[in-house]
Amino acid sequence: MKFTSLLTSAAMALGLATTAMAEDKTKVGFVYVGPVGDGGWTYEHNKGRLAVEEEFGDKVETVFVESVPEGPDAERVMTQMALEGADLIFTTSFGYMDPTINVAKKFPNVKFEHATGYKTADNVSVYSARFYEGRAVQGHIAGKMTKSNTIGYIGSYPIPEVIRGINSAYVHAKKVNPDVEFKIIWAYTWFDPAKEADAASVLIEQGADVILQHTDSTAPQAAAQEAGNVITFGQASDMSEYAPFPRVSSIIDDWAPYYIARTQAVMDGTWESANTWDGIREGMVAIGEISDAVPADVKEEALALKAAMAAGEYHPFTGPLKKQDGSDWLGEGETADDGTLAGMNFYVEGLEGEIPQ
Amino acid sequence: MDLSEINPVLLVASLMVAATPLLLAAIGELVVEKAGVLNLGVEGMMIVGAISGFAISVETGSPWLGFIAAAIGGAVLSLLFVLLTQVALANQVASGLALTLFGLGFSALLGQGYVGVKPPSMGEIHIPVISDIPVIGPILFQHDPILYLGIALTAAVWATLKYTRVGLILRAVGENHDAAHALGYKVIKIRILAILFGGACAGLGGAYISLIRVPQWTEGMTAGVGWIALALVVFASWKPWRALLGAYLFGGITVLQLNLQAAGVAIPVEYLAMSPYIITILVLVILSADKSSAPASLGRIFHASH
């Protein structure tokens, strides 16, 4: 536990003491996997939390605990929040899935919202963003801009969300550059700047001149900057401190509207268990500014691709596509259904290596 | 799979970089434990060193001042441990854990304004001719100065412990503090100096991560290196050169496994990910078969009245 979480606990204890006076307040809890200052994933969730406070002012009280390990510890933190009167709890990492379900069973009157998972219950909703739409844009830019035809990809854990991202980026890079090759490193962490930096350096040493990351810190950006001729993309947050180079664009997760809507629903008593999966069209996924390091024509194509997805005219997984083993997946013009995407556990044709099981 | 994509020269060069924070922290802790004190606060002192060094080098523009500040920062935090365990005679394990928790939080507080800031670069030492020798040049002679400091420190600690009177006294205090006290040595004073040295080394190790290896500031960025350093001291049987070997082994396999993954070697990633821990432990356990054991007074509280 960190100093800030100690402070939070202290604040919670204080909160308990004052609940008698403030019973009409809606209490919203957030469980974070990294520190709020990670500059990426958790940073954006925390921005969503601040937006909720901004929107409702005195009517809402938010609490958060950061750097909660995925596993039994998470269950303890959620239980604590529920015991201390939280009405709505957002658990913001894939690994909190089973802990959320377990705790939710014990507190049927508390609403839970689990990010990026797939298990729901009467009082558990799941929500996620279609990051793979953003990956399509990144893949396009990466395929156009790579000179070594080698793109490095830092994966976190081999879960469907990450695999979708790899597939989507690969499909779109391959489309514009048939010679492109992906090198994938599984870091087995969401947040470990030193390890992420090492992974990025290794990929660069092995010839990658584009680094895509699915981990939460800005360390790979720093490694790319050090190397000098490598481009990167902001992950989960804009990471604009590394723009215009090496960071040439980014995927931004905008959770604020969703968090505000769900808090409102709890206040109004209209909250229902739901399965939300929004993308560029709904604004949950945004593409950060494409910097001038990208040639104008590539930028235009990337923006057109984004516009097509926003209008619902284009799906990043449109056939013909084959699986890695050569078997057919999608026929000509066919698009992937959400069920397959949600449980995606295979690479598309052309990617090398195996997904760790 | 294409192993030819792994460049052995770059691999060795980057393993030395990956190992240095671990080595610095482990050497410091080794001296502390040799003096009979178990300080579990290495992680906390590292992260405080990381942010002190980062903040000062950003403010002054000088990485050197940053590293000096990191050493001071780590040492100042270890003063808290001194106060608890040497003055107030508190339990060392509990105090060390508290130090880590405090350090992690305190560094996050100090670092509020430094997220996303870029530190000045230290640059590499480039010696004409020698640094340009193929293979050996990039491996041995193209690093930052702190990496060499780590190796020099290992040699200095080894020589001091083995050959000097200061080393002998330090070991005496760690083996039997009552006897050392009876001989007239100032047990508490010696231990305080050892703890401060350990804090300074841990601080340097932390700053190496935030200023050279990553380089940027992020909360919690040491991510457990301090704990690995603690384990390394034990597995290295409190011997400096073995600590160096262990650190290079650990750093080496960490970097190698990333290289193998990127080259598409068909070993399941889970095995690769756990390999640094397993191989380091195995090698050091085999080496420690010579029955060298922990300093006899390790972790015991000393008070002159006993």
The string of pLDDT tens digits covering residues B183-200 is 999 999 999 999 999 999
Q: Which of B115, B254, B262 sits opposite A37 (nearest CB)?
A: B115
A1, amino acid identity:
M
Q: Which of A191, A192, A198 sits opposite B255 (nearest CB)?
A: A198
Q: What is the pLDDT of residue A18?
A: 46
What does the pLDDT look like over B60-78, one tens digit per residue? 999 999 999 999 999 999 9
Q: A202 and B21 in contact by Cβ < 8 A?
A: no
Q: For the residues of A287-351, what is the DSSP string, one character each?
A: EEPPPTTS-HHHHHHHHHHHHHHHTTS--SSBSSEEBTTS-EEE-TT-B--HHHHHT---PBTT-
- Select the residue of A39, A192, A226 nearest B223 (Cβ to Cβ): A192
- Long-range pairs for B72-76: beta carbons < 8 A, 24 or more residues apart: B72/B200, B72/B203, B73/B48, B73/B49, B73/B203, B74/B45, B74/B46, B74/B48, B74/B49, B74/B199, B74/B200, B74/B201, B74/B202, B74/B203, B74/B204, B74/B206, B75/B196, B75/B197, B75/B199, B75/B200, B75/B203, B76/B199
Q: Test A198 with B14 for CB contact under 8 angstroms.
A: yes
Q: Which residues of A touch B270 (CB under 8 A)?
A: 356
Task: Compute the nearest-CA separation of B211 from chain A (Å).
Answer: 11
Structure-model confidence comparison of residues B277 and A81, the more confident one: A81
Question: How high is the pLDDT of residue A3?
Answer: 55
Nearest CA in chain A to B6: A206
Report chain B's terminal Cα–Cα distance, integer Å.
65
The minimal CB distance from B105 to the residues A4, A206, A357 is found for: A4
From A83's Cα to the closest Cα of chain B, the distance in A is 25
- Cβ within 8 Å, pair B258-A199: yes
pLDDT value at position A36? 84
Minimal Cα distance from A151: which residue of B?
B262
Across the interface, of A37, A353, A356, the residue whose CB is closest to B270 is: A356
Distance CA A356, CA B271 (A): 10
If one compares B258 and B127, the residue with the highest pLDDT of the two is B258
The complex scores an ipTM of 0.78
A188 CB neighbours in chain B (<8 A) are 269, 273
Domain boundaries, chain A: 3-129, 131-252+285-311
CA distances from B238 to A72, A92, B36, B172, B294 (A): 35, 42, 11, 14, 7
What residue in B sits closest to A193 (Cα-Cα)?
B221
- Output the pTM of the full model: 0.81
pLDDT of residue B306: 56
Mean pLDDT of B37-43: 94
- For residue A151, the SS3 value is strand
Q: Which carries the bigger pLDDT value, residue B124 or residue B220? A: B220
Q: Contact at 8 Å (CB) between B249 and B232?
A: no
Q: Beta partners for A127? A: A115, A276
Instruction: Report chain A residues whose CB lies below 8 A from the CB of B11.
Output: 205
Minimum CA–CA partner of B1 in chain A? A353
Chain A CB contacts of B220 under 8 Å are 2, 34-35, 67, 191
Give 10-residue mean pLDDT values along chain A (357 residues): 54 49 78 85 93 93 91 91 94 93 94 91 93 93 94 92 94 94 90 88 91 90 88 87 86 92 93 90 89 91 92 90 90 88 90 83
Sheet holding A88-91, edge to edge: A60-65, A26-31, A88-91, A111-115, A124-129, A275-278
C-alpha dist (Å) from residue A285 to A93, A134, A176, A252, A278: 17, 7, 23, 6, 8
Determine, for residues B106 and A193 on separate chains, whether the beta-carbon distance falls below 8 Å: no
Using CB atoms, which residue from A37, A38, A194 is nearest to B214?
Answer: A194
User: What are φ and ψ of residue A323, in 5° steps?
Assistant: -80, 170
Question: What are the chain A neighbours of B268 within 8 Å (beta carbons)?
Answer: 356-357
Could you give the C-alpha distances from B110 to A9, B105, B180, in angstroms and in order?
A: 20, 9, 40
CB–CB of B82/B88 below 8 Å? no
Domain-wise residue ranges, chain B: 3-113+143-290
- The CATH number of A3-129, from 3.40.50.720, 3.40.640.10, 1.10.1660.10, 3.40.50.2300, is 3.40.50.2300
Question: From the CB of residue A293, how many other CB atoms can be counted at a distance below 10 Å?
Answer: 16
From the list A158, A186, A198, the residue facing B254 with the nearest CB is: A198
Question: Does residue B2 carry a pLDDT above 70?
Answer: no
Q: Could you give the 3-state DSSP secondary structure of residue A53? A: helix
Per-residue DSSP letter, B166: H
Helix or strand or coil: residue B261? Answer: helix
Q: Which chain A positions have a beta carbon within 8 Å of B222's beta carbon?
A: 194
Whether B263 sits inside 8 A of A219 (CB atoms) is no
Indicate yes or no: CB of B105 within 8 angstroms of CB of A206. Answer: no
Q: What share of chain B is helix, strand, coil (3-state, %, to 5)?
A: 75, 0, 25
Top residue of A3, A8, A157, A183 to mutate, by most chain B CBs within 10 Å, is: A3
Chain B hits for A185, CB-CB cut-off 8 Å, are 258, 261-262
Name which of A189, A193, A206 is nearest B221 (Cβ-Cβ).
A193
Inform me whether the pLDDT recorded for B26 exceeds 90.
Answer: yes
Tell me which residue in A206, A225, A357 faces B262 most closely, judged by beta carbons: A206
Nearest CB neighbour to B268, from listed A34, A352, A356 = A356
Instruction: Give the pLDDT confidence score for residue B269 in this predicted structure.
Output: 72
Residues of A whose CB is below 8 A from B108: 2-4, 35, 37
- B-chain residues near A207 (CB < 8 A): 5
Answer whether A38 sits within 8 Å of B219, measured CB to CB: yes
Pick the CATH number of B3-113+143-290 from 3.30.160, 3.30.2130, 1.10.132, 1.10.3470: 1.10.3470
Contact B39, B46 (CB under 8 A): no
Grade residue B288 by pLDDT with cuts at 50, 70 and 90.
confident
**Interface A:B, Cβ pairs < 8 A:** 128
Kindly report, residue by residue over B11-22, the tens digit of the pLDDT: 888 888 889 999
Which residues from A are below 8 Å from B221, CB to CB? Answer: 193-194, 217
Percent of chain B predicted with pLDDT > 70: 97
Report the gap between the CA of A338 and the closest CA in chain B (Å).
28
- Tell me the CA distances in angstroms from A109 to A56, A81, A124, A125, A271, one per residue in order: 22, 13, 11, 13, 11
pLDDT at position B276 over 90 = no
> Would the pLDDT of B133 be above 80?
no
- CA dist B97 → A190, A192, B33, B81 (Å): 24, 21, 16, 10
Task: Verify whether the Cβ–Cβ distance A193 to B118 is below 8 Å.
Answer: no
Confirm if A170 and A350 have CB atoms less than 8 A apart.
yes
Angstrom distance (rounded) from CA B115 to CA B74 = 20
| Paired strand residues for A283 | none
Reading the block at residue A109, the tokens are: 């009157």
Average per-residue pLDDT for chain B: 88
CA distance B250 to B244: 10
Q: Which residue has 């890079």 as its token pair?
A: A173
Output DSSP code: residue B51. Answer: H
| CATH (residue range A131-252+285-311) | 3.40.50.2300
Residue A216 to residue A38: CA distance in whole angstroms:
7
Residue B270: closest CA among chain A residues belongs to which residue? A356
For residue A304, give both structure tokens.
């057109």
Per-residue model confidence (pLDDT) at position A34: 85
In the numeric block, which tokens belong to residue A232?
Answer: 């990167």
Taking the CB of residue B253, how many other CB atoms lie within 10 A of it? 20
Q: Measured between alpha carbons, how far is A98 from B138 in angstroms, rounded to an integer?
A: 49
Q: Is-contact B37 B92, C-beta < 8 A?
A: yes
CA angle B158-B162-B165, nearest 5°?
A: 120
E runs forming strands in A8-161: 26-31, 60-65, 88-91, 111-115, 124-129, 150-155
> In the Cβ-directed half-sphere of A357, how many Cα atoms lie within 13 Å?
2
Contact A232, A217 (CB under 8 A): no
- The reported pLDDT for the residue numbered A7 is 54
The whole-angstrom separation of Cα B180 and Cα B187 is: 7
3-state DSSP call for residue A10? Answer: helix
| Shortest CA distance from A224: residue in chain B | B214
Kindly identify which residue of chain A lies nearest to residue B116, measuring between CA atoms: A241
Cβ <8 Å between A222 and B214? yes
CA-based nearest residue in chain B for residue A204: B262
